[in-house]
Structures are given as C-alpha cells and as structure tokens.
Structure 1
C-alpha cells in the first residue's frame, strides 16, 4: 500500500512539475507581450504627433527603409491588435 501511495504521489509530482514549467513559459510570454504592447503604444503616440508630410523609417534588419506615414500607422494598429489578441488568449 505504501508503494502504491508513493507511485501515485510521484505521478502527481510529475504533473505538478509539468504545470509549473507551463506556467513559467506562459508568464515569460505574457511579459514579452506586455513589453511589446508598451513599446507599440509609445510608437503609436509618437506617430500621432507627426505631421502628414513627415518622413518615417522602418528598421528592417540593419537597414532603415522609408515608409509612408499612413502605412506605418496602419501596420502599427494591426500589430497592436495582434498583440492584444495574443495577450487575451
């Protein structure tokens, strides 16, 4: 009987450890998403301050590429939506 209890306890401990690992991964992902959302929000606020004829550049790898302001705003809104959706799931 003691051996049976020990096996059951070992199995429960394995389940607990697995859940704990999943929690750590989820917490890290949430922190990453929160950070990206915060950065995205700051960029959005900066884009709002720009005039329509302002030049905007997007960093692609090591290169800055000129981007249309409206396109940048649309991309940012879409990315913000995706981040918000991922965070909610």
Structure 2
C-alpha cells in the first residue's frame, strides 16, 4: 500500500509541475502579445508617415536618425519573430495541456486501482 501512496504522490508532484510549466508558458505568451500590440502600433504610425518625415530611434540615452525603410524593416522583422514565437508557445501550451490530462487520468486510475485493492471496501459475496 505504501508503494501505491508513493506512486500517487509522485504523480501528483508531476501534475503540479506540469501546471506550473503551463502557467509559465501562458505568462510568456501574454508578454509576447503585449509586444506584438506595441509593434503593430509602431507599424501603423510608420504607415501614416510620409517618405520625407524624419524618424528617430532611441538607442540608450541618444536619439539617432533612422531611414523609414530601415525602421519598417525592423518592425516587420520583430512582428514576424513575435508571431512565430506566439505560434510556438501555443503549440507548447497544447502539448502541456495534453500531458496534464494524461497525468490526471493516470492519477485517477491509480487511485481507483488502490481503492479496489483495499481490503474490506469491496462488496462481500452473499452467503
């Protein structure tokens, strides 16, 4: 019986670790969504600017002139990267959720098997 308890405890710890991993991935994805929205806003601003407008980029404490084409390229590159990362993390979320469900099922099955083996808890045959 102690082996079963240890096994259930181990499964429970694995389950909690998977839930923590899922929470971490979801938080990371939310940060990426925020970054994506910021970059979409920058892209919209760049779209409204004329070709003759001056664009400055903040590098540390200094503002440097930047070409519009270069700025648009940088923002597009960031958006592509962020979109790919969001997609990758969505896949991780899906995989982790599947692992959580499998672990949950395994815990339930182990508990049910343990209860079935417990003496005195089954039905007694009629005499």
TM-score range relative to shorter protein: over 0.9
- 1:68 is the counterpart of 2:64: no
Alignment partner, residue 21 of structure 1? 20
Alignment partner, residue 48 of structure 1? 47
Structure whose alpha-carbon radius of gyration is higher = 2
Matched length? 88
Distance 1:60 1:52 in 2: 22
Displacement after TM superposition at 1:63 (Å): 2.1
Q: Report the TM-score when normalising by structure 2.
A: 0.66
Instruction: Please report the RMSD computed on the Cα atoms of aligned residues, expressed in angstroms.
Output: 0.9
- 1:4 is the counterpart of 2:8: no
Distance 1:21 1:64 in 2: 41
Q: Report the TM-score when normalising by structure 1.
A: 0.93
Alignment partner, residue 57 of structure 1? 56
Detail structure 1 runs of 4+ shifted over 2 Å in the superposition.
Answer: none
Structure 2 portions without partners, runs of 5+: 89-127
Alignment partner, residue 79 of structure 2? 80
Displacement after TM superposition at 1:20 (Å): 1.2
Distance 2:41 2:6 in 1: 53
Distance 2:13 2:59 in 1: 44
